[in-house]
Structure 1
Amino acid sequence: MKILILCTGNSCRSQMAHGFLQSFDANLQVFSAGTHPAEQVNPHAVEVMAEAGIDISHHRPTDVATCLNETWDYVITVCDHARESCPAFSGEVRHRLHIGIEDPSEVTGSPETIRQAFIQARDLIKERFSRFYLTEILGKELPRCACER
């Protein structure tokens, strides 16, 4: 199973989702990319993922252009901008999904406010990508949560 997680900067949300999916199943081929990749993975994302036991410090932002000719089982956008500007893939894309997450790197305020934004994004990504993994990859039916009704 080959999965691409796409966002704008590929520095935060897509990197965290990449880390979680890979931790759920080492047999998945998980990649992440950005429509306008940043210079590096956001240090706050690296920090909060390490606290969850997942090391993404070796990840590097990648331009989605390097992924366009490949075949993907899933291309998942995690931000509205990437969803709206998702490029045309010349390789086959079997499924396109959007799992939108607010960008914690846009939060301003005290260091604790920023840290909490990254923790909230991390926890939401874990929950939503766990659900994706269980339902889409493993094919399990889960009860719908109240927030989806």
Structure 2
Amino acid sequence: MGSRAVTSILFLCTGNSARSILAEALANHMGGGLIEAHSAGSFPKAAPHPMALQVLAERGITGDFRSKSWDEFAAPGAPPIDIVITVCDNAAGELCPIFPGRAIKAHWGITDPAAVEGEGQRAAFEAAYDQMQARIAALLACDLSAIASPDFPPVLARIGQMSGATPGKEPIS
């Protein structure tokens, strides 16, 4: 296997407390050094959702996860981003952020587990984890060296339509 550049991915959500944190954690954990994942939100919460951190920890994924503004990634000196993936959905009444720049953009909407209170919350987070894990696995099965190809954005879009996809919006442009 030849040397390959690391693909930098930014997962965006509104609150950066649940789905985008799961995506960041899974991509870095599963990526085997091929992916450098980050997450951010347009209106970040004070901290990641405790159940997101618990579900990750129970699966052996720990880290210094924090909710942060997407402004960090638009600022001078921010790491270059190759792919921006939104994971929230306006069909659920959320305003999904739009990220400026030349990065390839895709939408992988899944149901917000943080919107579930009480008894069903753990199951909602586990479902979100499983759905995101399947999407990251599908991404890793792709030839990441081909992200500059015009064929790559449709591949990302198809991954976003995997099981559990919200009926939501078109991918951001």
TM-score, normalised on structure 1? 0.81
The whole-number CA distance in structure 2 between the counterparts of 1:52 and 1:147 is 21
Seen in structure 2, the aligned counterparts of structure 1 residues 116 and 30 have a Cα distance that, compared at 3 Å, is same
Task: Confirm or deny that 1:120 pairs with 2:130.
Answer: no
Q: Match for 2:133: what amino acid? A: K
Q: How many residues align?
A: 140
**Where is the helix percentage greater, Structure 1 or Structure 2?**
1
Seen in structure 2, the aligned counterparts of structure 1 residues 33 and 138 have a Cα distance that, compared at 3 Å, is same
Identity of aligned residues (%): 32
Q: Any conservation in 1 of the 2:13–2:87 contact (CA below 8 Å)?
A: yes
State the match for 1:87 in structure 2: 98
Of 1, 13, 31, which aligns to 2:19? 13
Instruction: Tell me the secondary structure at the aligned position of residue 85 of structure 2.
Output: strand
Instruction: Tell me the secondary structure at the aligned position of residue 142 of structure 2.
Output: helix
The whole-number CA distance in structure 1 between the counterparts of 2:98 and 2:126 is 30
Task: Confirm or deny that 1:49 pairs with 2:59.
Answer: no
Seen in structure 2, the aligned counterparts of structure 1 residues 130 and 99 have a Cα distance that, compared at 3 Å, is same
Seen in structure 2, the aligned counterparts of structure 1 residues 24 and 80 have a Cα distance that, compared at 3 Å, is same
- Cα deviation digits, residues 34-78 of structure 1 (max 9, x gap): 01000001110001111111114x211110111125532100000
Task: Confirm or deny that 1:102 pairs with 2:111.
Answer: yes
Seen in structure 2, the aligned counterparts of structure 1 residues 106 and 92 have a Cα distance that, compared at 3 Å, is same
State the match for 2:41 in structure 1: 34
Seen in structure 2, the aligned counterparts of structure 1 residues 130 and 34 have a Cα distance that, compared at 3 Å, is same
The whole-number CA distance in structure 2 between the counterparts of 1:73 and 1:128 is 17
Seen in structure 2, the aligned counterparts of structure 1 residues 39 and 52 have a Cα distance that, compared at 3 Å, is same
Q: Which structure 1 residue ranges, 4+ long, deviate > 6 Å from structure 2?
A: none
Q: Match for 2:110: what amino acid? A: I
Deviation at 1:108, TM superposition (A): 2.4
Q: Match for 2:72: what amino acid? A: T
Seen in structure 2, the aligned counterparts of structure 1 residues 68 and 136 have a Cα distance that, compared at 3 Å, is farther
State the match for 2:151 in structure 1: none
- My pick for the range that moved more, 43-52 or 23-32, is 23-32
Of 57, 62, 70, which aligns to 2:68? 62
Deviation at 1:137, TM superposition (A): 2.5
The whole-number CA distance in structure 2 between the counterparts of 1:33 and 1:43 is 17
Deviation at 1:146, TM superposition (A): 8.8
TM-score, normalised on structure 2? 0.70
Structure 2 segments unaligned to the other structure (5+ residues): 1-6, 147-154, 165-173
